[in-house]
Structure 1
């Protein structure tokens, strides 16, 4: 049996770690904090990597370092190699487990992900999950820059670096403070058009979906407030400041407990897709694959439609 060929490596994990940290942070000063080294040591490691490869990896734009074509080519390979190195370290580090990094938009992160992670940890007691909850735009960026292993978003977005796959159906509903006298039957679109609305901020999946459904039907929206979380919208609506349009997942408990009321409308059903996001060029690790299978199984068990109260639209 021939002996395996051994090549002398020109690259080191330290150099690749510095490169990935700089790509995420945008400067060697910020990257130095992430890798626990001095700025000068970080700059030297990055310069050594570029010298070993014979190419530059960043363009200097003001004080920021921005990945160029070479850097974008290297990033998924470097991130994958560092993940594998962490897995190797964990093999010989007692109880240490490499955490799964999940980025999630607010509706999913606040109302669905806690149940999913609890179920996952029940099946895998030693599993660790780092959950970052942000708006949809930030989740896409987190997965694209490989700060997260997988992402969960609201809506059918596209990104050249990402794969976006259908996961679960969701439905938006209109809510108001309890006790508002709407009269008998469904509220007319004319009355809804005259109402003040409390909405999520631009860039959130919920806001994008609400605008897509409401503006064509009502002609315009009179905005009272734009807020950065579902809970803030719910509190403002419950205080009587206006109507809200949120996921049924986000409001069902508040409606059940009576501090929000679902408004019957003549609007068509406002359904949207919740999706799973992964990077096109970075392989999904075994832990992430198992977690995604768990999430897919949970979604199938829920059925394709949210459980709205009987008779509601």
Structure 2
């Protein structure tokens, strides 16, 4: 039997990630013919096809799904070996991390973490996808990314969760709106027009766990928006009240476009967490990224 190669595994995982040999070739810096040839050679060695064609996309079949976690683990071990054996030389070689983050972290926190990381590890590059917490957990579990960053509890028991920062959620509204003038007791909150994230988001889950039992149910007039930034903008325009991360709304508070609503509610806090698969060994670049997250979290906690 012909031996399998790391290049074949790299091509295989790239096709999984991008859905076609053309897109995978572009990501790997190979020709489309070389990418297709490597994939065909791997299938010949294994004696089976790994993909099914659905329209223009290549989708994993049962054999491909079996191979994927082993291929990813093999590539991770090879990268870790190269970095550990040739540390002095490998420390300056370009490395790419595949990450997924929920929207508040991805849009407002992770850029600061990446700036810290690049200051000491300029060779580390990042491919980042942003979604809600449910989507991030799925991406980590499906081996589509190396690490996930989410807000609030993890609903996937198969994943390891590592908190690195405690976030604060604030009730906010437009200055001078009726909610700021009349106070915000439970009765007022039950009558308010709420601006909510969609089910599956970390922010929505915290509210449903901590706030919804007090309200008993969301008012029929509430609105659901798929972006925390959209909620902040709508609240600033007087369309309702939102409950959002301090890291997101602080610029709006500083510009006096939003105010924090006084209420009798206990503080709403949640953890920002790193998610990984249990069998996933962190490479040196991933460990450096994790350290940058913890350093940023500690800096913010000390500042607060």
- 1:270-309 to 2 correspondence within 5 Å? 270-303=268-301, 307=304
Q: Is the 8 A contact 1:152 1:277 kept in 2?
A: yes
Out of 111, 114, 121, the residue aligned to residue 108 of structure 2 is: 111
Are 2:143 and 1:141 equivalent residues in the alignment? no
Q: Is the 8 A contact 2:105 2:150 kept in 1?
A: yes
SS of corresponding position for 2:211 = helix
- 1:1-313 to 2 correspondence within 5 Å? 10-25=3-18, 30-36=20-26, 38=32, 42=36, 45-46=38-39, 48-54=41-47, 57=50, 65-68=59-62, 71-83=64-76, 96-159=93-156, 161-182=158-179, 186-222=183-219, 223-303=221-301, 307=304
- Cα deviations across residues 264-312 of structure 1 (Å, max 9, x unaligned)? 11222222221101122332111111110221233234339x94xxxxx
Q: Is the 8 A contact 2:174 2:257 kept in 1?
A: yes
In the alignment, the residues of structure 1 paired with residue 105 and residue 180 of structure 2 have an alpha-carbon distance, to the nearest angstrom, of: 33
User: Greater helix share, 1 or 2?
Assistant: 2
SS of corresponding position for 1:303 = helix
SS of corresponding position for 1:295 = helix
Name the count of aligned residue pairs. Answer: 294
- Cα deviations across residues 143-198 of structure 1 (Å, max 9, x unaligned)? 23333222210121143653222222222111111112447785111111111111
In the alignment, the residues of structure 1 paired with residue 127 and residue 38 of structure 2 have an alpha-carbon distance, to the nearest angstrom, of: 28
In the alignment, the residues of structure 2 paired with residue 113 and residue 94 of structure 1 have an alpha-carbon distance, to the nearest angstrom, of: 22
In the alignment, the residues of structure 2 paired with residue 149 and residue 160 of structure 1 have an alpha-carbon distance, to the nearest angstrom, of: 17
Ranges in structure 2 where 5+ consecutive residues have no aligned partner: none
Cα drift, residue 142 of structure 1:
2.6
Ranges in structure 1 where 5+ consecutive residues have no aligned partner: 1-7, 308-313
Q: TM-score, normalised by structure 1?
A: 0.79
In the alignment, the residues of structure 2 paired with residue 183 and residue 177 of structure 1 have an alpha-carbon distance, to the nearest angstrom, of: 8
In the alignment, the residues of structure 2 paired with residue 226 and residue 23 of structure 1 have an alpha-carbon distance, to the nearest angstrom, of: 33
Cα drift, residue 108 of structure 1:
1.1
Q: Is the 8 A contact 2:167 2:270 kept in 1?
A: yes
Cα drift, residue 52 of structure 1:
2.5
Q: Is the 8 A contact 1:217 1:267 kept in 2?
A: no
In the alignment, the residues of structure 1 paired with residue 142 and residue 151 of structure 2 have an alpha-carbon distance, to the nearest angstrom, of: 19
Distance 1:139 1:94, change over 3 A: closer
Q: Is the 8 A contact 2:76 2:281 kept in 1?
A: no
Q: Is the 8 A contact 2:98 2:146 kept in 1?
A: yes
Q: TM-score, normalised by structure 2?
A: 0.81
Q: Is the 8 A contact 1:199 1:225 kept in 2?
A: yes
Distance 1:164 1:60, change over 3 A: farther
In the alignment, the residues of structure 2 paired with residue 205 and residue 94 of structure 1 have an alpha-carbon distance, to the nearest angstrom, of: 35
Distance 1:98 1:157, change over 3 A: same
